[in-house]
Structure 1
Amino acid sequence: MTSSLKQHTDERALADLQREHGKALFSFLLGLTYGDRQRAEDLLQETLVRAWQHPEALASGHDSMRPWLFTVGRRLAIDARRARRSRPYEVGADALEHSALPDDHAERSVTALDVREAVRTLRGAHREVLTQVYFRGRSVAEASEALGIPAGTVKSRTCYALRALRKALHGYGLDTS
């Protein structure tokens, strides 16, 4: 067979393959790509390229090429997903423009004011314990001695005070559970 006739036969077989299985394969790949039409189309095209690169698969004598095509398409989708996961997430320039600067003094000042206001809302006993343990850096034993209360009371008041602060500072994404 001349190469021109062989190429024409390969093109016809590939066109028949796409006509017979293209829609079903595209729907299958669309599901694997979570509805991303562009990725599904790319995977469909790559699957058909693989079929063209492996004419022995076309001439295998199987009743249908669909299982082979679906297997190749699924493997390509898995490989593409793994490749995307191995690369760092890409962020567009517009997302960077709207993000806060790491050394944003105004943001830190606002946060400090919010924390101070939240601490003011605490009961006196809870506020005293937090002042000793967090703001003065004292241990539980040192805070216990300074406040004249048992160490267990320092621990429980600290726990309740932190819970109250989490509720008061809910807009900062703190876990409230």
Structure 2
Amino acid sequence: MKKLNRIVLVNWYLLGAEEINIRGNTAIIGPTGSGKSSLLDAIQTVLTGASKRHLNYNASANDGKASGRSIRSYILGMIDAGQANAKSFGPQPRPDAISYLGLVFEDSNTGNESTVGICLSASLASPEEDILGRFVLPNYGVGKKDFIDALEGRSFKAKPWLEVREKLKKVVLILILNPVARLLLSI
């Protein structure tokens, strides 16, 4: 059986770069506006491959009605979908961003981790977001370090998708071709 082990988020809603470990029975609790629904929407985005046809963001918080949230607003960190056109007292949206979402699953029999993820981009200058890539990584669990370059302090910069894609291809190829490498990466 595969169990969700970790959620990796880069530039999703108001979050910068986060890894959320999931173990056993996990409750997502917090006050209104703390990000509970945005975390669930990130999971939904990965599992649907960001297909708008299948997404239903935060519907329970609005009595089953559409929430006004969108993939684009999540990537840009907009508190509400109209924020880009109105003055706001909250955090300003990102002018453009690359977002990475990864769900890391653990095989309960082998202990090996595998990842399902997606890379998205958006800009205030464009009304639509772009899906840069979707990925499935057998026997490799991603971390935020796979998607960001650390800068001074808590600052970071999301790596370009093409760079991340090439690195992940190499990692998976090594793991497939060399079982000893799998052991070294897990240490």
TM-score range, shorter chain: under 0.3
TM-score calculated relative to the size of structure 2: 0.23
Report which of the two has the higher share of strand: 2
Q: Which has the larger radius of gyration?
A: 1
Report which of the two has the higher share of helix: 1
By relative contact order (CA 8 Å, sep 6+), the higher-ranking structure is 2
